Structure 1
Amino acid sequence: MEQNTPNIGSSRVKQWFLLKKESLGIIGMIAIIFVWVKLFLFYQFMSVQSNFILIWFITGGLIYLFFSSFKNKWIPACVYLIFSILMFADVAYASFFNRYLSINMLGAAGFLGDVGASIKAVLKPKFFLLFLDNILIFITLFRNHFLLKNKENTEISFDSALQEEIEGDYDRHEEHQEGNKNEFEPKEQMDSSYEHSESFSEENKTEMGQRK
């Protein structure tokens, strides 16, 4: 029993992975990985050391639940992009001022024009890695959108072709019925003419017999 438990767990994980791969594609699976990488880099840039692993997993789990709670994935993707912009601003601010960016500081962003050049100077290319998962998420959403649209167009084309084929079969059946009807009409006319001639001959015979 204890030996079967790990096998059941691994099979469920494998099944979950295959379902996600089918629905999201390779790029979507890479995006999920980069979400965790992004959180790891963010906490490293912010020099978070206390309870790092716990905070990392909690944040990743909340992001996963946030995306799972929406049927329309464009909504959480846009919100998550705003979240990424705030993370980027927080990292850039912390690298310059050596402290966290607060909500009050966001409200006073218009007064930071004098230090704008200095902030640009301390921006590092590695900070832009925080947007890599956002790019992959939007690529996945556009891919799924076009795949769904092509699938709908294919189903419409198939239904139209099937309807045309059914109508064509019905027309051919009607033509076949009309052809059979036309074939029987001359035969019926011939039978009627033959019966009429026989009746006429009988009448002639009867008349000649009466004359005799």
Structure 2
Amino acid sequence: MGKFRLFTVSVALVIVISLVFSPSHGYGNDQVLLASHHAPADSSDPPTIEWYPTIENSTEVIGVTIDAIYTGQSEQVFSFDFRVNDSDGVDFVIFRFYTFSNWINRTTTRISGDEIDGQYAGNITFTIAWDSINNLPSPRLISFSFKIFANDTLGNWAETVPTQYSYYYLSIMTPTTSNPGGNQTGSPILEAFLITGIICVVGAVVVLVYLKSRQKA
């Protein structure tokens, strides 16, 4: 009976310990993090990146599609800002963009708050050119992945799941036309010449008719 009781107590202790130190034990708002790293010794949890649309341990890539309007701009700027907090102090926050088969790191600026709890902002810029042959902006579709990396003063770090962004110029309004769509032709200079030529022809016809009418009179 004593051995059975000892065995029962041992099993109970194992269950309690496994629940307390389970790998699935959460870190408060850290459910937005896919990967995290704890520095050795008695350091605290990694930074918390708030307001990010992911779930704990998710491997699913979230996609965001944006239908945009092209109005002749030569560049497209994508700006992001997120709040990051850590009780030991946030050392730095990096916005990472995957485009053209490479990850690009962009430093951020803390626009509000402090090193314990602050709002960090950053951006990435794409160059847009006008394809006069096809009468379309180039590129018409901008696609990139975005994620956030944060590190605290003790060496703990966290990184979010990538989010896929697709930015497509659905409506196109160029300097050559006021009509949206992708079938614009001509240029302002050519159209001006055509209008001027038509006016000259009409004027010449009117003058000839007037002169003939005077001759008959």
TM-score normalized with structure 2 length = 0.29
Q: Name the larger-Rg structure.
A: 1
TM-score normalized with structure 1 length = 0.30
Higher strand share: 2
